[in-house]
Amino acid sequence: MRNDHVTLRSTAVFDLLAPRTPAVPVKVELRYDTRDPYAIVAAFRTGRAGWVEWVYARDLLADGLLAEAGDGDVRIRPSVEDPESVLIELNSPSGHAMFEASAQELADFLDRTYDVVLPGNEHLWVDVDDALTHLIPNDLG
């Protein structure tokens, strides 16, 4: 486990897509934190004071830049209509949203995460004892 934690942040604008209406730009903050080296956080601005965060695998983003990826709440795939864009589909019990984002911006952010933690080396950043402490109740004794 490493102690020199790093958090990367990048701001982007994704277009919220809906049938028969113009795309709506949405501010998104992408975060990568070595305390959770397998994950990317995308925080979507929902209004003046609100943010909605989605956490998904870094590998899902990498795979989705090249081909359709994901079979759960988050799906990512290259746009058929625009090779410079990626489609990000989010599903939850409260709704469904489809976003279009710049493939280059996402690839650049992903490359920055690789500069910090190479793929396959994520386990070197995980503190197993700390993770177990959060999973196991403290009042067992």
List, as one string, the DSSP characters of the chain. --S---EEEEEEEEEEE-TTS--EEEEEEEEEETTSTTEEEEEEE-SSS-EEEEEEEHHHHHHHTTS-B-SSSEEEEE-SS-TTEEEEEEEETTEEEEEEEEHHHHHHHHHHHHHHS-TT-GGGG--HHHHHHHHS-GGG-
Task: Parse the chain into domains and list their residue ranges.
Answer: 7-134
Superfamily of domain 7-134: Sporulation-specific cell division protein SsgB (2.30.31.20)
The reported pLDDT for the residue numbered 2 is 59
The reported pLDDT for the residue numbered 49 is 73
Q: What is the pLDDT along the chain (141 residues), one digit of tens a residue?
A: 556 889 999 999 999 999 999 999 999 999 999 999 999 999 999 877 789 999 999 999 999 999 999 998 999 999 999 999 999 999 999 889 999 999 999 999 999 999 999 988 888 888 777 667 767 776 655
The reported pLDDT for the residue numbered 1 is 56
